[in-house]
């Protein structure tokens, strides 16, 4: 395969297919280790000589230029930053086969049995990680092809704090180098080569093998958190061969020198990246735990449900009275729709008692500390009162923000909200929102932010004016100061792709796009569906995920609906979608409302302090003034 290529030789008279490249690359000392396979000779960077990887920041560089005698760090600051965790890092390094630090020298004196046991445990960990990262193929859909063919951008992983690696993604960006399987090779064994990140789309990265320069013919997409992606230096410590791709093996005679030039000053993944991925995919909720969750047929009450399965932090809950386990409900473990056993009684929320008088064997109550904590509020002074008016996202039609009324004030800051003009006589469709919920807004919010407000059903005095409506109903608006006005620097922009739960059928995670941004409020469009199925979602919603989340967690991704299938189904597809909506939280409102929001271009409207839809990503004032 590599006729005439011998990396052991120090003879510089060998010719290269590129004289220019031969001049650019300096020869590497002959001490660089090599690996031989089937009579052929291959090279790879090694942590002991030639190349080194900083154990703190992950920078790759020439070993002789690194700090201290051990050459473990690229600078004094990295060495000092690392010292606080030196003991833990030394043990991890030993398990990974890296040279131990001075503090870990005693580990070398352990019996052989102890060494083998540690190695076996490490290998078992890697195998378990590989099992949890099994890809779920979606026939006919590929995120990589979808993004490339349309020049889309994806929301970065850092936008999703609840997702794996969301809080420890670090500086992973374009240009980072990794070691990946070499698919352009005819060897019978699995070999690797170094690749650089060309483009990031959530967890997915477009990679290009080193040596291809501007040639994108063999570029490929992969999940950066997958089990086959490793930091530079992993092959050296694991005894894996690092082999140049067959298509470019003729370009250089001295691949060692080429890699030194290319990798000096480059960054790679942290040595413990795989461990962090594994840890971030450990979830505290376990099967058989009992929780209180909203009753999807009567929004005003909760029921007891049991955790049936946990996938990527999403819970499949089976209502306790369901004998065949088909009456279920999907939500994220941080969803505001689930609570610990006893929550309903503590706040005064309606609760459906189970016909089951005692717990089934093996079922146990989920500890209260596992649930998402809400902010504490002071209801002692001026506070929400029954009958106050506001604007709220309709839980039965998430594309609409509606005129609403506070129907009941519960304890701990919880409110029961009803949508004006479409409430059931018995209040069975009242919905519980916390006072700090980003899904409720003061009177005038939609008008200020140029969102279409849905008036009460049957209200004839259009266009709707809050001033007239408050006077006609003899009611008052909830004070603006009582609403949540915090706007985090979320990082979303109009046009970004992501994976989003269809909250009208929450077992589905779909390909989606951010089409509007109003401060912290995102309008999510499901690709391939009409605008009437869009949903308003908070930027910190646990029902939004980075591109590649389904593949990483083993969840099924719903691809965009095809135009041909929509046309053939015509009205039947809409009926199916609406029927699906009824399964989520109960009775679908029989409205003909079809909001078709247009994408704002940032200059078409005037916002407070000059912020547009796309720019309203910060802590600017949330509201202007109310109409008197």
pLDDT at 450 over 90: yes
Name the residue among 161, 228, 154 with its Cα closest to residue 190: 228
Rounded to an integer, the average pLDDT of 419-426 is 89
Residue 125 to residues 131, 164, 279, 309, Cα–Cα distance (Å)? 10, 17, 11, 22
pLDDT: is 357 or 442 the higher one?
442
Place of tokens 């131990």: 100
pLDDT at 464 over 60: yes
Domain boundaries, the chain: 172-269, 283-370, 388-482, 496-558
CA 317/CA 326 separation, integer angstroms: 10
Rounded to an integer, the average pLDDT of 7-26 is 38
Q: How confident is the model at residue 596 (pLDDT cuts 50, 70, 90)?
A: very low
- Please give the torsion angle defined by the CA atoms of residues 514, 515, 521 and 524, in that order, rounded to the nearest 10 degrees: -60
Residue 13: the pLDDT is 36
Using a 10 angstrom Cβ sphere, with 0-12 exposed, 13-18 middle and 19 or more buried, the burial of residue 20 is exposed
pLDDT at 33 over 90: no
pLDDT at 617 over 70: no
Decide if 549 contacts 202 (C-beta within 8 A): yes
Residues 6+ away with beta carbon under 8 Å from 333: 283, 284, 285, 310, 313, 314, 315, 370, 372, 542
pLDDT at 241 over 80: yes
Q: Which long-range contacts link 474-478 to residues 24+ away (Cβ below 8 Å)?
A: 475/387, 475/388, 475/389, 475/405, 476/387, 476/388, 476/389, 477/388, 477/389, 477/390, 477/442, 477/443, 477/444, 477/626, 478/384, 478/388, 478/389, 478/390, 478/406, 478/442, 478/443
pLDDT at 25 over 60: no
Architecture of domain 388-482: Roll (2.30)
pLDDT at 318 over 90: yes
Residue 321: the pLDDT is 87
pLDDT tens readout for residues 243-256: 999 999 999 989 88
Residue 41 to residues 44, 295, 628, Cα–Cα distance (Å)? 10, 66, 82
CA 615/CA 542 separation, integer angstroms: 23
**What is the DSSP secondary-structure string of 76-105?**
HHHHHHHHTTHHHHHHHHHHTTPPP-GGGG
CA 604/CA 237 separation, integer angstroms: 57
Rounded to an integer, the average pLDDT of 507-512 is 96
Residue 513 to residues 237, 500, 528, Cα–Cα distance (Å)? 42, 9, 10
Same fold, 283-370 and 388-482: yes
Taking every pair of C-alpha atoms in the chain, what is the biggest distance, in angstroms?
A: 95
Find the range with the poorest average confidence among 80-84, 415-419, 612-616.
612-616
> For the CA atoms of the chain, what is the radius of gyration?
29
CA 508/CA 583 separation, integer angstroms: 12
Q: For residue 220, what are the β-bridge partners?
A: 207
Place of tokens 């005692």: 358
Q: For residue 179, what are the β-bridge partners?
A: 194, 230
pLDDT at 520 over 50: yes
Rounded to an integer, the average pLDDT of 508-528 is 97
Name the residue among 421, 437, 431 with its Cα closest to residue 589: 421
Rounded to an integer, the average pLDDT of 25-30 is 40
Decide if 470 contacts 442 (C-beta within 8 A): no
pLDDT tens readout for residues 552-585: 999 999 999 875 455 544 444 444 444 434 344 3
- What topology is assigned to 283-370 in CATH? SH3 type barrels. (2.30.30)
Q: What is the mean pLDDT of the chain?
A: 78
pLDDT: is 107 or 259 the higher one?
259
Bond preceding residue 176 cis, omega within 30 of 0: no
Q: How confident is the model at residue 427 (pLDDT cuts 50, 70, 90)?
A: confident
Residue 569: the pLDDT is 46
Find the range with the poorest average confidence among 288-302, 346-360, 527-541.
346-360
CA 351/CA 304 separation, integer angstroms: 9
Residue 452 to residues 391, 401, 403, Cα–Cα distance (Å)? 11, 8, 11
Class of domain 172-269: mainly beta
Residue 469 is encoded by which pair of tokens?
A: 């409506």
pLDDT tens readout for residues 335-356: 999 999 999 999 999 999 876 6
Name the residue among 365, 468, 384, 371 with its Cα closest to residue 434: 384
Residue 128: the pLDDT is 52
Residue 186: the pLDDT is 87
| 3 state DSSP class of 201 | strand
For the chain, give the percent of residues with pLDDT over 90. Answer: 56
Find the range with the poorest average confidence among 100-109, 236-245, 382-391.
100-109
pLDDT tens readout for residues 351-380: 998 766 566 778 999 999 999 999 989 888
| 3 state DSSP class of 598 | coil
pLDDT at 424 over 50: yes
Name the residue among 27, 26, 4, 28 with its Cα closest to residue 17: 4
pLDDT tens readout for residues 126-158: 455 444 433 444 566 899 999 998 999 999 999
pLDDT tens readout for residues 59-108: 666 565 566 667 777 676 677 666 645 534 443 443 344 444 433 333 33
The DSSP symbol for 175 reads: T
pLDDT: is 479 or 361 the higher one?
479
Residue 283: the pLDDT is 96
Residue 409: the pLDDT is 96
Name the residue among 219, 215, 229, 212 with its Cα closest to residue 178: 229
CATH tag, 496-558: 2.30.30.140
Residue 76: the pLDDT is 65
CA 483/CA 485 separation, integer angstroms: 6
Residue 103: the pLDDT is 38
pLDDT at 613 over 60: no
What pTM value is reported for the model?
0.74
pLDDT: is 355 or 46 the higher one?
355
Residue 54: the pLDDT is 74
Decide if 200 contacts 174 (C-beta within 8 A): yes
pLDDT: is 422 or 39 the higher one?
422
């Amino acid at each position: 395969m590599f006729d005439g290529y011998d990396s052991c030789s120090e003879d510089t008279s060998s010719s290269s297919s590129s004289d220019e490249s031969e001049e650019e690359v300096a020869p590497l000392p002959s001490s660089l280790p090599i690996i031989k396979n089937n009579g052929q000779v291959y090279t790879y960077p090694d942590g002991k000589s030639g190349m080194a990887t900083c154990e703190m920041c992950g920078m790759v560089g020439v070993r002789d230029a690194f700090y201290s005698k051990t050459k473990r760090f690229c600078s004094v600051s990295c060495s000092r930053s690392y010292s606080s965790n030196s003991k833990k890092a030394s043990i991890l390094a030993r398990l990974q086969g890296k040279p131990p630090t001075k503090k870990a020298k005693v580990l070398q004196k352990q019996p052989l049995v102890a060494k083998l046991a540690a190695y076996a445990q490490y290998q078992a960990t890697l195998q378990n990680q590989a099992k949890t990262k099994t890809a779920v193929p979606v026939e006919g859909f590929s995120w990589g092809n979808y993004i490339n063919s349309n020049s889309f951008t994806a929301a970065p992983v850092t936008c999703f704090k609840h997702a794996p690696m969301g809080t420890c993604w670090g500086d992973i960006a374009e240009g980072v180098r990794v070691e990946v399987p070499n698919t352009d090779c005819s060897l019978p064994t699995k070999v690797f080569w170094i690749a650089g990140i060309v483009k990031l789309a959530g967890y997915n990265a477009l990679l290009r093998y080193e040596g291809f320069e501007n040639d994108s013919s063999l570029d490929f997409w992969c999940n950066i958190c997958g089990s086959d992606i490793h930091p530079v230096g992993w092959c050296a410590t694991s005894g894996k061969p690092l082999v140049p791709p067959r298509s470019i093996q003729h370009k250089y005679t001295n691949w060692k020198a080429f890699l030194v030039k290319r990798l000096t000053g480059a960054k790679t993944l942290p040595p413990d990246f795989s461990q962090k991925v594994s840890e971030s995919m450990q979830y505290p909720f376990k099967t058989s735990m009992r929780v209180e969750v909203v009753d999807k047929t009567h929004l005003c009450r909760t029921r007891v449900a049991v955790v049936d399965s946990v996938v990527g932090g999403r819970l499949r809950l089976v209502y306790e009275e369901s004998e065949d386990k088909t009456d279920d409900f999907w939500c994220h473990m941080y969803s505001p729709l689930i609570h610990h056993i006893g929550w309903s009684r503590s706040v005064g929320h309606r609760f459906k008692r189970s016909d089951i008088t005692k717990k089934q064997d093996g079922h146990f109550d989920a500890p209260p500390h596992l649930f998402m904590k809400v902010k504490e509020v002071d209801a002692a002074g001026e506070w929400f009162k029954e009958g106050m008016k506001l604007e709220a996202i309709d839980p039965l039609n998430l594309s609409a923000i509606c005129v609403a009324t506070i129907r009941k004030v519960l304890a701990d800051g919880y409110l029961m909200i009803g949508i004006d003009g479409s409430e059931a006589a018995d209040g069975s469709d009242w919905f519980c929102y916390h006072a700090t919920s980003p899904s409720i807004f003061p009177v005038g919010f939609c008008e200020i932010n140029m969102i279409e407000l849905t008036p009460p059903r049957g209200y004839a005095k259009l266009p709707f004016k809050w001033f007239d409506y408050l006077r006609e109903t003899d009611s008052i608006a909830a004070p603006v100061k009582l609403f949540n006005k915090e706007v985090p620097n979320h990082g979303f922009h109009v046009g970004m792709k992501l994976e989003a739960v269809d909250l009208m059928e929450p077992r589905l995670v779909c390909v989606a796009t951010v089409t509007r941004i109003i401060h912290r409020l995102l309008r999510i469009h499901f690709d391939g569906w009409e605008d009437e199925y869009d949903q308003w979602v908070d930027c910190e919603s646990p029902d939004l995920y980075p591109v590649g989340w389904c593949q990483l967690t083993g969840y099924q991704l719903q691809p965009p609906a095809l135009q041909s299938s929509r046309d053939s189904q015509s009205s039947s597809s809409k009926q199916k979608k609406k029927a699906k909506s009824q399964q989520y939280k109960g009775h679908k409102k029989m409205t003909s409302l079809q909001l078709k929001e247009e994408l704002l271009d940032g200059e078409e409207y005037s916002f407070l302090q000059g912020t547009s839809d796309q720019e309203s990503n910060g802590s600017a004032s949330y509201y202007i003034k109310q109409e008197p």
